């Protein structure tokens, strides 16, 4: 049996944070699908998420959903969390997931100064970033002034408020992979000399302020997740922090602002982050900040996303090492992406020991919203 004999009890323990109760530790990772024409999710989107809820996923995190800023998107089929039609569409998604017994978090997103290589004509004039430069230091878009920053903070609040009114169970703030909030965290793209730039703690000020205002707007019952990464689409080898001390310095303001769970995006979850330990990124964050964390990165597969998008088809990988880490409380939750596209019922199949039914992901699966 390709997955071997595994003891999955740790994966199916319940989990609670604030007013959110999850049946297990399995999370559907946010995955951009570009399947919401004019920013409006439809019946197909609702069916897509409901299938994963029916399949036993404890918490679904939506694809990146853009806030109400002109530069927040760089593709016309990214879903929005503003406008009457988009809000109504998300109502259908949430209702479908809840009807299937699932829980769902909305991911709030602003692409920042990131030009979409697939659509170079799309919205480039509106791109905004900390200093109007890309990951190579080249001019791109507009540097955000105080008015733009304040308007962006207000847009995050409106998005979170809409999510609460719709009935989402949590919100996740996207601050990873080279997009806007990550650009503020990253020294390469944030060379500001005002209160939004400087050292590690200062560079975290704007993401922390987003968390603080969202917390104030949605109250104390609704959890806030915060997703971050070392790697960037602009630079896979980038590092925001190089030591556990720096890790705490950067993330402490975000935790203090009101984040409940830190979602730690790695390309391969099993890789250690610092040479002093075998802990992965989620493990280090939990140890240093005493906060719940989500581990993610090629869970159940043998190659990372970037290798897949380059044309290499992944195979299945044993989850035994993952389960051992979870049982040891290295982290609290486990997010799966491609694996759940290939296997919407992955959670139920694993719980039932039906490993022979699991299928590896292939890139052709991205063509359908199913």
Catalytic site positions: 179
Q: Is the dihedral of CA 33, 35, 41, 45 positive or negative?
A: negative
Q: How many CB atoms lie within 10 A of CB 216?
A: 13
Q: Are 235 and 270 in contact (CB under 8 A)?
A: no
Helix or strand run (H / E) with residue 95: helix 84-99
Place of tokens 């994963």: 52
Q: Are 53 and 100 in contact (CB under 8 A)?
A: yes
Q: Are 105 and 168 in contact (CB under 8 A)?
A: yes
CA angle 91, 93, 98 (to 5 degrees): 95
- Could you tell me the two tokens for 198? 């400087």
Cα–chain center distance at 208? 16
- Could you tell me the two tokens for 231? 């790697």
Q: From CA 238, how far away is CA 100, in angstroms rounded?
A: 40
Q: Which of 299, 367, 289, 303 is nearest to 337 (CA)?
A: 299
Strand-strand pairing, 15-17 and 261-265? unpaired
Helix 84-99, helix 146-166: angle, nearest 10 = 40
Could you give the residue ranges of the DSSP H alpha helices within the chain? Answer: 43-54, 84-99, 146-166, 180-185, 200-203, 205-218, 244-257, 281-289, 305-309, 320-327, 338-342, 346-351
CA angle 360, 365, 370 (to 5 degrees): 110
Length of the chain: 370
């Amino acid at each position: 049996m390709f997955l071997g004999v595994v003891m999955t009890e740790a994966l199916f323990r319940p989990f609670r944070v604030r007013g959110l109760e999850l049946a297990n530790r399995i999370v559907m990772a946010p995955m951009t699908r570009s399947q919401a024409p004019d920013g409006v999710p439809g019946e197909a989107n609702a069916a897509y998420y409901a299938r994963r809820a029916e399949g036993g996923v404890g918490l679904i995190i939506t694809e990146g959903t853009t806030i109400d800023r002109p530069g927040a998107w760089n593709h016309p089929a990214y879903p929005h969390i503003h406008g009457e039609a988009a809000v109504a569409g998300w109502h259908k998604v949430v209702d479908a997931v809840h009807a299937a017994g699932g829980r769902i978090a909305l991911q709030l997103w602003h692409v920042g100064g990131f030009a979409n290589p697939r659509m170079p004509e799309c919205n480039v004039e509106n791109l905004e970033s900390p200093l109007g430069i890309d990951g190579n230091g080249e001019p791109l878009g507009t540097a955000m002034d105080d008015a733009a920053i304040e308007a962006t903070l207000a847009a995050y609040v409106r998005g979170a408020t809409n999510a609460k009114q719709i009935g989402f169970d949590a919100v996740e703030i996207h601050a990873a992979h080279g997009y806007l909030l990550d650009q503020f965290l990253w020294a390469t793209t944030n060379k500001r000399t005002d209160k939004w730039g400087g050292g590690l703690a200062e560079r975290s000020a704007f993401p922390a302020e987003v968390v603080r205002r969202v917390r104030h707007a949605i109250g104390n019952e609704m959890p806030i997740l915060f997703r971050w990464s070392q790697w960037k689409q602009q630079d896979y080898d980038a590092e925001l922090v190089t030591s556990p001390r720096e890790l705490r310095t950067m993330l402490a303001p975000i935790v203090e602002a009101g984040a409940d769970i830190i979602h730690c995006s790695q390309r391969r979850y099993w890789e250690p982050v610092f040479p002093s330990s075998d802990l992965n990124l989620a493990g280090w964050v939990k140890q240093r900040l005493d906060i719940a964390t989500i581990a993610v990165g090629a869970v159940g597969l043998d190659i990372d996303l970037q290798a897949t998008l380059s044309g290499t088809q992944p195979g299945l990988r044993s989850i035994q090492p993952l389960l051992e880490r979870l049982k040891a409380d290295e982290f609290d939750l486990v997010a799966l992406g491609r694996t759940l596209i290939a296997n919407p019922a992955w959670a139920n199949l694993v719980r039932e020991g039906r490993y022979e039914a699991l299928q590896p992901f292939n890139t052709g699966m991205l063509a359908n919203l199913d």
